[in-house]
Amino acid sequence: MSGDAHRNGNDQAEVREAPETLAPAPGEESWNRPRRTTPGPTPKGIHFKVFGKTHVGLIREHNEDNFMVADLSSDAGPLEGEDEFEGAVSDRGIALAVCDGMGGAAAGEVASHMAVDALFEVLRGDTAAEDRDSFARRLVAAVEEAGARIFLAAKKDRTRRGMGTTATVAGLIDKVVFVGQVGDSRCYVLRNGQLSLITKDQSLVNQLIEAGQLTEDEAEAFEHSNIILQALGTTERVVVDLTFIELRRGDRLLLCSDGLSALVHDEAIREEMACIGPLPQLTDRLIELANAAGGHDNVTCIVADFDGDALEPPEEGAIPFYQQYPLPRGGERDSTGPTLPTIVKSMVPRAMTAPRPGRVSQPQPPASFSWPTAAAVLVLLGLAAAITIIGAGGRSSETIAEPPPPLPAYADAQTPVEVRVRSSVQEGELYVNGRSYGPLRLDQAILLRLLPGSYRIEAREVDGTQVGEDLLVEPGQPTEIQLTPPAD
């Protein structure tokens, strides 16, 4: 193994005062997260295979993508080369990352390279993370540190002004995969033959879709689809979107740059992931599909399989979903990084989108957004920050001072409706129709997304105390309920 073992292009190959925890609708899988206690060592018997590869594509002259496959129990650096790696998950865990650089042939490659180095350094730390929360903080700190280093380097070197990179980073500890994201690289999970997107693109086109200003079909031809809302290095600070899933036996993960997801439909990706067993052949096939669709961009894929007796088998019909991991209050500090925001911003999950057109290969001027729908959303989102123009790589990066608020659900019988649940129960657990939706915290809202229908909402305490309320969720009618034990 080598300390400079990630793949680069030349190888061809808010903190919010009132946090909201996203919970799934019935039919989606929910993780009954235990209370904030140290979970102990990672269970023995979690096995993995992983393989990553990057390719320059058919249009670009340089590859600005980088990726990382790292066993955090090793101090030698990320794993070297495009070799399949397998083993058992250690107490320190493993980490996977895809970074899609921008800023021109030299600068974009430098930014993604710096990001990978910083991610490994901070994620590994001097000691193993004590529990899930400290590991999650460390992952957020790693992404933030990478962004700060790139920003400082660009500030010192005028030739690299505006360089940046996306970062999608998956870290596994104690059967739980945490994913930190800035930008529009993606993380998917294949379970029970179904492909789920567990990250959320931080892009203008995605905001337009969620605002109802752009349809899926219109998104495919949207001329400003190359604009992202955040990137490491383009601003001094970033807001990391932190999500999580609990692994199940047989899960297959895919991390990829938009060189794949923007050109190849999710269903085509699902078919290949479900049918091709060997990981090297799978990555080759995914890259082949991206190039067959035009190969307008660099394309990078990491695929990983997880198995072992320590993982529970998947429930029939249950699928992973986009779910935020809210870090607890208190400003706790991880020994390997700076004090972090205690709550990661909440973003409303959405269904997987249709593919977007490929990134253009020439620099783009500042977007005028004369198209009426784009103008409407720009007003809605309050995009006050100027668009940062990235030369040579042909990608624009646009950052916003604060994320937009959650958007209302639309009145449709098949559309989930937002239901906020607050409770005065101390150390309680939230149950919906008898199924756990994770821990409750005093006077902090949990945001549920439920299909219209009747539900039994309950708060249960360890001592057996419980308080419940029957709720009728009506289409397009967001609501809020308060679970309060009766006065003695």
Give the strand pairing for 453-460 and 466-473. antiparallel
Q: Token pair for residue 179? A: 């994913």
- In this model, does residue 445 exceed pLDDT 70? yes
pTM over 0.85: no
Query: What is the Cα–Cα distance from 326 to 438, expressed in whole angstroms?
Result: 11
CA-CA-CA-CA dihedral for 141, 163, 10, 254, to nearest 10: 50
What's residue 9's pLDDT? 42
Query: What is the Cα–Cα distance from 72 to 119, expressed in whole angstroms?
Result: 11
Query: What is the Cα–Cα distance from 346 to 384, expressed in whole angstroms?
Result: 20
pLDDT tier, 295 (very low <50, low <70, confident <90, very high otherwise): very high
Q: What is the DSSP string of 76-112?
A: S-SPPSS--EEEE--TT-EEEEEEEEESSHHHHHHHH
User: pLDDT tens for residues 140-193?
Assistant: 999 999 999 999 999 998 888 889 999 999 999 889 999 999 999 999 999 999
User: pLDDT tens for residues 306-331?
Assistant: 999 999 999 887 888 888 888 765 44
Query: What is the Cα–Cα distance from 389 to 104, expressed in whole angstroms?
Result: 11
Query: What is the Cα–Cα distance from 133 to 120, expressed in whole angstroms?
Result: 18
Query: What is the Cα–Cα distance from 262 to 285, expressed in whole angstroms?
Result: 16
Beta bridge partners of 457: 432, 469
Among 415, 451, 479, 440, which residue's Cα sits nearest to residue 326?
Answer: 440
CA-atom Rg of the chain in angstroms: 22
Task: Give kind and range of the element (H or E) at residue 306.
Answer: strand 299-307
Average confidence score pLDDT of the chain: 75
- In this model, does residue 19 exceed pLDDT 50? no
Among 255, 293, 294, 289, which residue's Cα sits nearest to residue 95?
Answer: 255
What's residue 25's pLDDT? 43
Among 459, 453, 419, which residue's Cα sits nearest to residue 438?
Answer: 459
Q: Which residues contact 118 (CB under 8 A, 6 or more apart)?
A: 142, 145, 146, 149
Query: What is the Cα–Cα distance from 157 to 106, expressed in whole angstroms?
Result: 12
- In this model, does residue 374 exceed pLDDT 50? no
Beta bridge partners of 88: 47
Query: What is the Cα–Cα distance from 65 to 108, expressed in whole angstroms?
Result: 8
For residues 69-75, average pLDDT = 89
Among 100, 218, 120, 211, which residue's Cα sits nearest to residue 164?
Answer: 100
What's residue 475's pLDDT? 84
Q: Check if the beta carbon of residue 461 is closer than 8 Å to that of residue 34.
A: no
Tell me how far CA of residue 192 lies from CA of 279, 317, 319, in angstroms.
18, 7, 8
Q: In what order do the strands lie in the sheet with 194-197?
A: 85-88, 47-55, 299-307, 252-256, 186-191, 194-197
Q: What angle do CA 316, 321, 324 make, to 5 degrees?
A: 140
pLDDT tier, 200 (very low <50, low <70, confident <90, very high otherwise): very high
For residues 224-249, average pLDDT = 90
Q: Token pair for residue 13? A: 């190959």
- In this model, does residue 33 exceed pLDDT 70? no
Among 332, 74, 307, 355, which residue's Cα sits nearest to residue 209?
Answer: 355
Which of 33-47, 330-344, 441-455 bottoms out in mean pLDDT, i.e. has the lowest? 330-344
Q: Which residue has the higher pLDDT, 276 or 465?
A: 276
Q: Which residues contact 450 (CB under 8 A, 6 or more apart)?
A: 25, 26, 416, 417, 419, 432, 473
Q: Which residues contact 227 (CB under 8 A, 6 or more apart)?
A: 203, 204, 205, 367, 387, 396, 397, 398
Of all residues in the chain, what percent carry a pLDDT higher than 70?
70
Domains detected in the chain: 18-37+408-488 (2.60.40), 39-307 (3.60.40.10)
Beta bridge partners of 242: 180
Among 148, 187, 399, 397, which residue's Cα sits nearest to residue 300?
Answer: 187
What's residue 446's pLDDT? 80
pLDDT tier, 370 (very low <50, low <70, confident <90, very high otherwise): very low
State whether residue 119 is helix, strand or coil: helix
What's residue 409's pLDDT? 35
For residues 123-129, average pLDDT = 91
What's residue 462's pLDDT? 67
Query: Rounded to 5 degrees, what are φ and ψ at 194?
Result: -110, 140
Query: What is the Cα–Cα distance from 18 to 33, expressed in whole angstroms?
Result: 20
